[in-house]
Amino acid sequence: MKENVIDYFISLVKIDSESRDEREIALKIKEDLITLGAEVKFDNANEKTGGNIGNLYAYFPGKIEKKPILFCAHFDTVVPGKGVKPIITDGMITSDKTTVLGADDKSGIAEIIYAIKEIKEQNSAHAPIEVLFTISEEIGLLGAKYLDYSLIKSKIGYALDSHKVGEITIGAPSQNSMKYVIVGKEAHAGAEPENGINAIKIAAEAIAKMPLGRIDEETTCNIGVISGGKATNIIPNEVIMHAEARSHSPEKLEKITEQMSAILQETAANYRLEDFQAKVLIEVREEYRAFRLSEDDEVVQLAKRAAEKTGLEFETSVGGGGSDANIFNRNGLKVAVAGTGMNRVHTVQEFILTKDLENGKL
């Protein structure tokens, strides 16, 4: 292993690990955990995710009689995440701007590993520690969804997968993903346009009626991908749209999801020919459910005491995105999301400060 957390992080981001291709980094981390004295095991979640390796679980027996605590992060990165070339400039680590950096979430991995390394080197008394590194988080929290939960002994834990060091996210929204297929009728655009129904026009008209973006302080929705059409001389008979809705309120999530679908259906209903009626095929999938921890929960108070002990400024927040913590909380664990220092994630401008890597492992 590298001498410090910064060098270790640099070594991790150089390993390609886009979603469903986490095997190389997982095998390296397995050996590092064994070196630190862990009992390790892979589950078979990859059989359901289509990846090349499962979630990695590790257990460190405690030196004091206390309840175990879970620490987790995820192996995978978003695209483009292959061939990362990290650059350190004035205490900031970036990529060469042709790829993401991978601080999401290799900063979490590095900080967990090096926190445990320091505990071992200092021979500190500690509760039993469970470590979980998941696969395919970036493509739907799949590793957490298909985790073998019989492995987990802890009742509380931390997912190191957020921005500001010292900040604990204690709530996150539910998310629905929607796929809409708008079915029109094909015709020659120049010779007989009146015999066609333009699916792109239906989509445009419907989108113009939708309340997109931030709906209120708890709710957002977005249409992110649209595809359709074959050529300029053909009336397009199909458009596929992918959308999402998020809310901390189950009722509001259901309402905005139904509203978006209804607008599409009502718009399509206005487009008909003597022998054809436009229609919309709708698929709605629940990605994850909201969670909300109390400021008084043990997992929050424990983080607060740890921050005070190490001199970090502590604060709590409620997030707008999902993480493995949504799935863990749904499965009976109380897991908060801890900041690692990652910034501008999911972009080629992603960066992390070296001081945040150092502080994050505290």
Rounded to 5 degrees, what are φ and ψ at 144? -65, -35
Using CA atoms, how far apart are residues 199 and 232, in angstroms rounded to an integer? 13
Tell me what the pLDDT averaged over the chain comes to: 97
**CATH label of the domain that carries residue 209:** 3.30.70.360
- pLDDT of 1 > 80? The answer is no
Rounded to 5 degrees, what are φ and ψ at 344? 50, 45
Q: Are residues 168 and 185 in the same domain?
A: no
Average pLDDT over residues 58-81: 97
Using CA atoms, how far apart are residues 19 and 148, in angstroms rounded to an integer? 19
- Altogether, the residues listed in the chain come to a count of 362
> Domain end: 288, 314, 348, which one?
288
**CATH label of the domain that carries residue 136:** 3.40.630.10
| Residues with active-site annotation | 76, 137
Residue range 165-194, pLDDT digits in tens: 999 999 999 999 999 999 999 999 999 999
Q: Are residues 81 and 71 in the same domain?
A: yes
> Domain end: 263, 288, 313, which one?
288
Q: Are residues 38 and 145 in the same domain?
A: yes
Q: Are residues 328 and 253 in the same domain?
A: no
Neighbour count for residue 247 (Cβ, 10 Å): 24
Q: Are residues 192 and 160 in the same domain?
A: no
Residues of the domain holding 149: 5-172+290-360
The count of structural domains within the chain is 2
Q: Are residues 303 and 259 in the same domain?
A: no
**Pairing between β-strand 334-339 and β-strand 156-162 as defined by DSSP bridges:** parallel
Rounded to 5 degrees, what are φ and ψ at 15? -95, 120
Confidence of residue 30 (pLDDT cuts 50, 70, 90): very high
Listing DSSP states for 251-304 in one string gives HHHHHHHHHHHHHHHHHHHT-EETTEE-EEEEEEEEEE--EE--TTSHHHHHHH
